[in-house]
Chains A and B, each alone.
Chain A
Amino acid sequence: MPNPRKPERSVVTTCAYCGVGCGFRAETIGGEIVRMIPWKEGKANHGHACVKGRFAFDYYRAADRVKKPMIRGSITEPWREVSWDAAFAHAASELKRIQAKYGRGSVGAVSSSRCTNEEIFLMQKFARVALRNNNIDNCSRICHSPTQFGLSATLGAGAASQHFDSILQANVILVVGANPTEGHPVFGSLLKRRVREGAKLLVIDPRRTETADSAHCRADVHLALKPGTNVAVLNSLAHVIVTENLHAERFIAERCHPAEFAQWKALVGDPRYAPEVVGPEAGLDPEDIRRAARIYAKGPNSTIYYGLGVTEHSQGSTGVMCLGNLALSVGMLGREGVGVNPLRGQGNVQGGSCLGSWPHMFTGYRFVTDDAVRATFEKDWKLELDPEPGLRLPNMFDAAVAGTFKGIYIQGEDPVQSDPNQNHIVAAMAAMECVIVQDLFLNETAKYAHVFLPGSSSLEKNGTFTNAERRVSMVRKVVEPLAGLEDWQITVRLINAMGYPLHYDHASQVLDEVARLSPAYGGMSFALIEREGSVQWPCGPDAPLGTEVLHTKTFPRGKANFMLTGYVATSERTDERFPLLLTTGRILSQYNVGTQTRRTGNVAWYGEDVLDVHQVDADARGIRDGDLVAITSRYGETQLRARISDKVNPGVCYTTFHFAQSKANAVTSNLSDWATNCPEYKVTAVELAKVPVGKSAAAATPAEVRA
């Protein structure tokens, strides 16, 4: 076999898939990318990679990539290619027309965690200086917004307390609502390594995931709880800790507010959270809850990693607070090997949170209602800013349905596929007068768009990503943008078209502005990151090279806070009509809604979403492995092929959401987290029925049936 052709050029950059943020060398021949080689010096991945980052890069030159701006008068008309200038002029005049007719607050924007920090920062600047409102949100709204809220409330910082390598000092690893071996594979491998070295593994997840049970990784205790009972179970762990006196009295006295601890102890110590009460409700053996709590409390170093199985619930923020409370109660913060760590789904979810792309917060998690903070931005931007919070993304859709929200600029997101209760989202999109979509492809949302701005992939631009361990790494341009502009340049041009003068020669100048306005990023610059390889925030005068572990001496507010986390069951309940609970997740080879990975050879590993259903539930409905089944909820219906699986308990079924045809979100509800409106994707009451052969064209061609 011949040796691989030598590359003509090699560029070190950061993977844009999950929140691990692996470093890669992108190699090109003849101006095209031919290989992605894991970068040995990458501090997040140390030369490792997964099948997404390694192989799924071809999407950038897929045949259906859009390379010209397009506009149309209505969504029933065909698209018309126009110049960039014409597209910006049209978009700006439409937004201004709508604001003149319906008010300044009738339009908004949403940024993407697939875009760079610089692009996300410019999107919030677009809303604030061009729309002159705070109707700006980012896609972590629908995944990790409860992390920002819940960790800020308890620990004072809405981010992971540790760097990834910290896990190698852990004796106990508690994984809650996450499956890192598939969702965050490179970190998952690090976790498995530590388990092989002898660390105890505790998993709280409704499914027997790869993380809970695979060849090299088996949980010492797996709490396969009923979806929707997280807060009850986490409170029950706390119950064991406080009633068996396993808590860390000295840590609590020195680093927390003892009165708050007493208040919290009274709540979780109440008999209603005893394992013997919670266990039957959550489908768990009470003794397993006790064992897990004792192992976690004993440590000596216990660490928590969690994912969307915690956040995407009506009590998502409460669940995150439970984890903060737990770690505080046993003193598992402030050193290596411990901590509370969100595993971020997309490459730049942490950046999306940090960069002020929120309706209520500027960069660095500072409230827009804070006059002093707002004044620093007003001085820098030479403009008076809206002092009131704006609409969140789900509020924008609700307002569109109510007829008061009429225009949106969407960068790198596909809400029609990815947001919950698809019928509701479609009604909202159809009610708007100007939808501007900036993306690589005509995605599902583009069907409702009036302006299409062809974006650039992460291989075609310069900027930075912030990964799940707060690590800021370089994204470098490997090939020229296929449509001519980097995403940040598109946003700047639209801001200009709206009448606000703004110019940057290079993306590095945007990061300089972020640093100037945001203490946590205060020391960041392209020059520093180039020199160090990557830098973790906080980075500033006290930590010129960044910070690996947070909360070592004090918490951001001095002391940490115990929050009261009463369990409130979701209003999404099973009943006779909808007796099963559907939950959702991801698979190793595909990424999110699949816009990128579906356009690569990775479909060979996973070509369609399937529905995992337990034998007992399948038998009761006459469903066999491979049958096409109709899934019905209170909100809608879709069809998927069934796979009989013992990874789910009876009463629970599971699917992924990587393929648009699957319409997984046709059945999900519009219930959401109380604090952030993060959707409750993880719990939907459903019923299944076998689709009779011949009743659906689907049967022969599963991947096309459900379009």
Chain B
Amino acid sequence: MSAPGKGDAVIHVDVLVAMANQIGDFFAPYPPGQREEGVRNHLRHYWDPRMREALLAHVDATGGAGLHAHVLAAAKLLRAAPAEKSAYAGPPKA
């Protein structure tokens, strides 16, 4: 884990990367398209916006170091489709 006080992230980014990848692991069995959407919906509607911003800052700074490919794609979807999709429970609505 990073040293306390490192950077401006609300939570240390390595914690966020690990959490995001765990979410990605769950959605991995879904077909392409659905799996990214599942991760996006979760990040958008369950994560504090500062956590999302910190993750996106990490993506900008490093190209998404440590993130699974579909999780990186999902993080980018947060910018492409910020809030227009309503939150939902259940399978990913691609």
Contacts and interface: CB of A to CB of B under 8 A. Distances in A.
Interface in B24-76: 25-26, 28-30, 42, 44-51
Contact of A675 (B11, B26, B86): B26
A681 B26 CA distance: 20
B41 to A, nearest CB: 10
Contact of B10 (A317, A369, A402, A674): A402
A40 interface: no
A370 B48 contact: no
Interface string B68-91: 000000000000000100110111
Nearest to A365: B89
A395 B51 contact: yes
B10 A404 contact: yes
Contacts of B90: 152-154, 156, 557, 561, 563
Which one of A260, A391, A402, A563 has the highest number of Cβ atoms from chain B below 10 Å of its Cβ? Answer: A402
Interface string A558-602: 000111111010000000000000000000000000000000000
B91 A391 contact: no
A369 B87 contact: yes
A398 interface: yes
B interface, over-half SS: loop
A244 interface: no
A318 B23 CA distance: 11
Contacts of B42: 675
Nearest to B46: A360
Contacts of B48: 105, 135, 359, 388-391, 395
A284 B21 CA distance: 30
A398 B90 CA distance: 28
Nearest to B12: A402
Contacts of B49: 388-389
Given A389-B47, A390-B48, A395-B51, A674 B83 contact: no
Nearest to A154: B90
Given A105-B50, A395-B51, A402-B10, A568 B15 contact: no
Interface residues of B, number: 31
Nearest to B38: A564
B11 A399 contact: yes
Interface string A252-286: 00000000100000010000000000000000000
A367 B45 contact: yes
Nearest to A151: B89
Nearest to A390: B48
B10 A568 contact: no
B9 A367 contact: no
Contacts of A557: 90
Given A359-B48, A566-B28, A674 B22 contact: yes
Nearest to A135: B48
Interface in A278-337: 314-315, 317-318
A523 to B, nearest CB: 24
A149 B50 CA distance: 22
Contacts of B87: 367, 369-370
Contact of B29 (A152, A267, A431): A267
A401 interface: yes
A654 B14 CA distance: 31
Nearest to B49: A388
Contacts of B9: 402, 404
Contacts of B10: 105, 391, 399, 402, 404-405
A401 B4 contact: yes
A566 B5 contact: no
Interface in A397-417: 398-399, 401-405
A360 B89 CA distance: 12
Contacts of B83: 369
A156 B29 contact: no
A674 B28 CA distance: 13
Given A370-B87, A389-B46, A675 B23 contact: yes
A152 B89 contact: yes
Q: Which of B10, B15, B48, B86 has the most CB of A within 10 A?
A: B48
A70 to B, nearest CB: 29
A431 B5 CA distance: 11
A263 to B, nearest CB: 8
B33 to A, nearest CB: 13
B89 A153 contact: yes
Given A389-B46, A402-B11, A674 B89 contact: no
Contacts of A566: 25-26, 28-29
Given A267-B29, A369-B45, A564-B30, A398 B50 contact: no
Interface string A144-178: 00000100111010000000000000000000000
A257 to B, nearest CB: 8
Given A398-B15, A404-B10, A564-B29, A369 B44 contact: yes
A177 B22 CA distance: 22
Nearest to A358: B46
Contacts of A369: 44-45, 83, 86-87
Nearest to B85: A369
Contacts of B22: 314, 674
Contacts of B51: 391, 395
Interface string B2-22: 001110011110010001001
B7 to A, nearest CB: 8
Contacts of B50: 105, 404
A564 B29 CA distance: 7
Interface-centre pick from B29, B49, B51, B89 (highest chain A CB count, 10 A): B89
Nearest to B91: A561
A561 B29 CA distance: 15
Contacts of A568: 25-26
B2 to A, nearest CB: 8
Nearest to B2: A402
Contacts of B25: 566, 568, 674
A399 to B, nearest CB: 5
A674 B45 contact: no
Contacts of B45: 360, 367, 369, 389
Contacts of A318: 26
Nearest to B8: A404
A648 B41 CA distance: 40
Contacts of A314: 22
A135 B15 CA distance: 19
B5 A402 contact: yes
A399 B46 CA distance: 16
Nearest to A564: B29
Contacts of A149: 89
A314 B22 CA distance: 9
12 contacts: A156-B90, A369-B44, A370-B86, A370-B87, A389-B46, A389-B49, A390-B48, A402-B5, A561-B90, A563-B90, A566-B25, A674-B23
Q: Which 10 A/B pairs are nearest by Cβ-Cβ distance?
A: A674-B22, A367-B87, A564-B29, A152-B89, A566-B29, A398-B11, A561-B90, A388-B49, A568-B25, A404-B10
Given A370-B87, A568-B25, A677-B19, 13 more contacts: A105-B10, A360-B46, A367-B45, A369-B83, A389-B49, A398-B12, A402-B9, A402-B10, A402-B12, A404-B10, A561-B90, A674-B25, A675-B23
